[in-house]
Amino acid sequence: MVSQKSEILDELFEIIETRKHGDAEASYTAKLFSKGPATIGRKLNEESVEALIAAAQDNPSELALEAADVIYHLLVLLASLGVSLGEVLDILAKRQGVSGLEEKASRQAAEHKGVTKGD
């Protein structure tokens, strides 16, 4: 069982990883993996729209439920493409202390110079 809330994402991602090659008949996560990243992405999109609807309806409790679904499906999508949660957290850590406007401007400047995100 999770001892601290800060560990929940790490533990959830580990569980998701263990289901990658699991039985699609016995595990929803394994079933998602079996359908591939495009299907997982569509499910993430669906859950995101449901979160947006809850927000537009000013329904915080429903938004919290939908946000949990968004996070879960995002983690499944990351795992399906071999992107670790650590990689995402490292990027977020690098952005700490940097204005969101500055960070976005630096990405746009790099794109204009022909530099891609993977460079």
Domains of the chain: 5-83 (1.10.287.1080), 89-119 (no CATH)
Give the per-residue SS3 of 16-38: HHHCCCCCCCCCHHHHHHHHCHH
Tell me the average pLDDT across 77-84.
98
Q: Give the residue among 10, 40, 13 at the shortest CA–CA distance from 28.
A: 40
Residue 104 has pLDDT above 70, yes or no: yes
Quick one: pLDDT band at residue 34, thresholds 50, 70, 90? very high
For residues 58, 4, 99 and 45, what is the CA-based torsion angle, rounded to 10 degrees?
Answer: -50
pTM more than 0.85:
no
29 neighbors 16 (Cβ within 8 angstroms): yes
Altogether, the residues listed in the chain come to a count of: 119
Give the residue-averaged pLDDT of 78-103.
Answer: 89
What is the percent of the chain with per-residue pLDDT over 70, rounded to a whole number?
A: 90
Can you count the helices (H) and strands (E) in the chain?
Answer: 6, 0
Tens-digit pLDDT profile for residues 55-72: 999 999 999 999 999 999
Q: Which helix (DSSP H) or strand (DSSP E) does residue 97 occupy?
A: none
Distance separating alpha carbons of residues 18 and 12, to the nearest angstrom: 10
Confidence at residue 71, expressed as pLDDT on a 0 to 100 scale: 98
What is the rounded average pLDDT for all residues in the chain?
Answer: 90
